[in-house]
Amino acid sequence: MRIFNTMAAHAIPLVPRSLIRKISRRYIAGETLGDARTRIHALHAAGFRTTVDVLGETASSAEQAESMAREYLNLIEAFGAQNERTELSIKLTALGLHLDEGACMERVSVILREAISRGISACIDMEDTRFTQKTLDAFLHLEADGYLVGIALQAYLARTNDDIAPLVARRSRMRICKGIYAEAKEHLVDGASTDRAAINPHFIRHVSTAIQAGSFVGIATHDAQLIDTLTHWLRSERIDRSRFEFQMLLGVCEPLRDALLAQGFNVRVYVPYGHDWYGYSTRRIKENPRIAGYILAAMMWRDRSR
């Protein structure tokens, strides 16, 4: 079955967009800010924390980057007015990092100032390796300027072993995930290109090192074995639950998510919305081949029933 699912993941570009859109409804709140507000309000009522992500990467023009900045500001105003204490996920390329770094940083500063005034936190998301260093540099600049902001790190990158050291020394706020972008083998930790489980020892080391140093850590994974290992470690070390949280994507591993919340852990749900649903959905599907297998099986069944 695993071979079938892996083959299905590679065949995703051939799947009709209409079917991808149907599947995406599980992982995306909707296309509008109103859709996101409705889903986030329900999650807060159930006891979860949330991060809101405006879908879209790599702005193609300054105008597009400005439009994204306005969307963030509208988002902040809407959630601030409702006193919904969500967190922003900020992708710097969506705000023009690759077009004009100075203009991008000014947009981010405006967004963060407004967010702070409304009691809304933020995390700088990590993208593919073309932007890793620039993203880290931008984060260090924002942190030095006094903004309360976190940074995402990807455990599957070999360079994270070095990148995390200065962050740990400063007790920076971090979100540690495995990583989803397709990268050349030389960028990855040994074995990660063929076996996602090979990332786990690196993930555990990064999380434990950061927490022990005094950083707040968002543990972003759906790997049940990895979560089990970490919960045992957190309990054995008697780590106060205010110093970390588990983070999971909307619509993914919901029974595991609910179980963590029931055990008294803080759980944050990553809630994306926007018009760029196709790119986000295909990355999620490729990351989880079982979903791809389900889609391909559904297509085959539909063709046979005609």
Structure-token pair, residue 92: 């710097």
Is 190 noted as a catalytic residue in this protein?
A: no
Q: Is 61 helix (H, G, I), strand (E, B) or coil?
A: coil
Indicate left, alpha or beta for 275 from its phi (over 0: left) and psi (-120 to 50: alpha). alpha
DSSP-derived letter for residue 126 is P
For the four alpha carbons of 42, 43, 49 and 51, in that order, the dihedral sign comes to: negative
Instruction: Report how far apart, in Å, the C-alpha atoms of 145 and of each of 24, 119, 126, 138, 292 are.
Output: 38, 18, 20, 11, 43
Q: Which member of 37, 173, 175, 284 is catalytic?
A: 175
Q: Which member of 37, 53, 125, 284 is catalytic?
A: 125
For the four alpha carbons of 60, 180, 253 and 89, in that order, the dihedral sign comes to: negative
Instruction: Report how far apart, in Å, the C-alpha atoms of 292 and of each of 4, 19, 246, 273, 303 are.
Output: 9, 11, 25, 21, 17
Is 175 noted as a catalytic residue in this protein?
A: yes
Residue at token pair 């005094």: 214
Query: Any bridge partners for residue 154, and if so which?
Result: 177
So which residues are the catalytic ones?
125, 175
